[in-house]
Structure 1
Amino acid sequence: MTTLGAVLLPQLPPERMRDVAQAADEAGLPELWLWEDCFLTSGVAAASAALAWTRQVRVGVGLLPAPLRNVALTAMEVATLHRLFPGRVHIGVGHGVQDWMAQVGARAESPMTLLREYVTALRALLAGERVTVHGRYVRLDRVALDWPPAAPAPVHVGAVGPRTLHLAGEVADGAILTGGTTPAQVSAARDRVLRGREAAGRADPPRITVYLHAATGPDAAARMAAEQARWGYPGGDDDRTVTGDAAEIAAQVRRWARAGADSVVLQPTPDDPDPEGFVRFVAQDVRALLD
């Protein structure tokens, strides 16, 4: 069965996070996802706080931009989260927005090479291995974590293009697809990831997570129209966004699930007036129609 989640957008001031995270936890939301977007909030700092404020919700970070972060530091932070909050952490890494990476002097000449080296090293470190690598971007000399995760720590890759989707299948534990991915594109993406699995000789199933733009409430249509314009989507495109009551949104979630999404994470509009109410709506109203 597809897992349901919601996004706590980084446009929300950090001091608002506690109320939203606790509302999600108390309502029984399975997954709450955070982002590390430049130059808003830190994904790891926000995740550690959200996990400490809650008791059961699983917290995902999607994505951590690989060019911005030394892989050993990321491994240390992710391992710490897994040791402190076992079974409640999902981590995704990606290329990062290239314009933002250029702003901070971290843009890679070959993002694909960097991501392959990065994910391979990160998974090895989290598995407790001692890693030596002399890559184009990742260089480690006998690095091992003193406190690796006590259980497997999956690493997901944010992917849009076919090469990155194939790479996710080869070297990662799953793929995270951006908001605006249509059901047809989810199906095609899953196929690309599975081809990567086959090429790498792996039999373990990948986890496909997709963000889905969603809005509810009396002004939902107007807010979603503004969101569609911001992203350049055709107006009223129900293959990229969803609006309406719980029944309408649940019906659309099923479409994305049938297309191959293992986890559908509903992404509110940045101007949603009640983010606490949104996570409660997803956890209680929409989820009740899916169980």
Structure 2
Amino acid sequence: MTTLGAVYRPQLPPENLRSVVLAAEESGVDSLWLWEDCFLESGIATASAALAWTSRLNVGVGLLPVPLRNVALTAMEIATLDRLFPGRVTIGVGHGVQDWMEQVGGRVASPLTLLREYTEALKALLAGERVTRAGRYVRLTDVALGWPPAKPVPIHVGGFGVKTLDLAGEVGDGTILDASADLDQIRAISASREHPVVVYVETDSRDRAFVTDLVASVAGAGATSVILQQSATSEDPEGFVRFVGSLDGVSA
């Protein structure tokens, strides 16, 4: 069965998050996804709050831009979330929007090399390993988490470029496709790997038949999770999340 979720966009005020999270919890939405877009809201801080306000809801963070954050810190944050709220958090990483990374002094010559090194080190740390790496960008010496997750947390990798998506299939535990992906691309990606494929789909429609058909077509192309997102100008995220909750299960 393909699961169904919704996005709380970081263009919306942080103080409005709680009502949307509770609407997702109450309406049966499988997952609520949060983004760490520069320079809006922290993905980890919002995820922590969302998890604390709920008991059932799965919370996804996708994507964390890796040039913005030291890999050891990211591992510490993910491990803490998972130990506080076992099995309810999904993390995605990506190389970030390069113009934003330039603004913070984090842009690198080879974003793909950084993403590979970072993802591999992050997964090793979350698996409880003691890690020493001397990569082009990721350098760790005898680093191990004091409180690793009881079980390794799957790390998804997302993006839209061909090389990034190839890397996601190689080093990720899941792949995240943004709303620009068409059905042919979803089919090709889904057929080329055996791990979960999460697909964002942008729509402001609350026409049940239209959205049901839209979700079914994306699920039929191979998505294991379809995550509906409103446009940045939409004004009723709580109502939209409740609408998504009313659709849950239509993609079975």
TM-score by length of 1: 0.84
After TM superposition, which residue ranges in structure 1, 4 or more long, deviate above 4 angstroms? none
Correspondence for 2:228: 266
Correspondence for 1:9: 9
3-state SS of 2:203 partner: strand
Correspondence for 1:101: 101
Correspondence for 1:287: 248
Q: Provide the C-alpha distance between the structure 1 equivalents of 2:179 and 2:159, rounded to a whole number of angstroms.
A: 11
> Highest Rg: 1 or 2?
1
**Are 1:159 and 1:177, in contact at CA under 8 Å, matched by a contact in 2?**
yes
| Unaligned runs of at least 5 residues, structure 2 | none
Correspondence for 1:90: 90
3-state SS of 2:32 partner: strand
| Unaligned runs of at least 5 residues, structure 1 | 195-204, 218-244
**1:246 equivalent among 194, 200, 208:** 208
Correspondence for 2:204: 215
Correspondence for 1:231: none
**Are 1:250 and 1:287, in contact at CA under 8 Å, matched by a contact in 2?**
no
Amino acid at match of 1:136: R
Query: Shift of the alpha carbon at 1:180?
Result: 2.2
Q: Provide the C-alpha distance between the structure 1 equivalents of 2:220 and 2:89, rounded to a whole number of angstroms.
A: 25
Query: Shift of the alpha carbon at 1:140?
Result: 0.4
**Are 1:183 and 1:259, in contact at CA under 8 Å, matched by a contact in 2?**
yes
**Are 1:247 and 1:289, in contact at CA under 8 Å, matched by a contact in 2?**
no
3-state SS of 2:38 partner: coil
- Provide the alpha-carbon RMSD of the alignment: 1.1
Query: Shift of the alpha carbon at 1:288?
Result: 5.2
Amino acid at match of 2:248: R
TM-score by length of 2: 0.97
**Are 1:162 and 1:189, in contact at CA under 8 Å, matched by a contact in 2?**
no
Change (3 A) 1:29 1:51: same
Q: Provide the C-alpha distance between the structure 2 equivalents of 1:162 and 1:288, rounded to a whole number of angstroms.
A: 31
Where relative contact order (Cα < 8 A, 6+ residues apart) is larger, the structure is 2
Query: Shift of the alpha carbon at 1:273?
Result: 2.1
Question: Percent of pairs identical after alignment?
Answer: 62
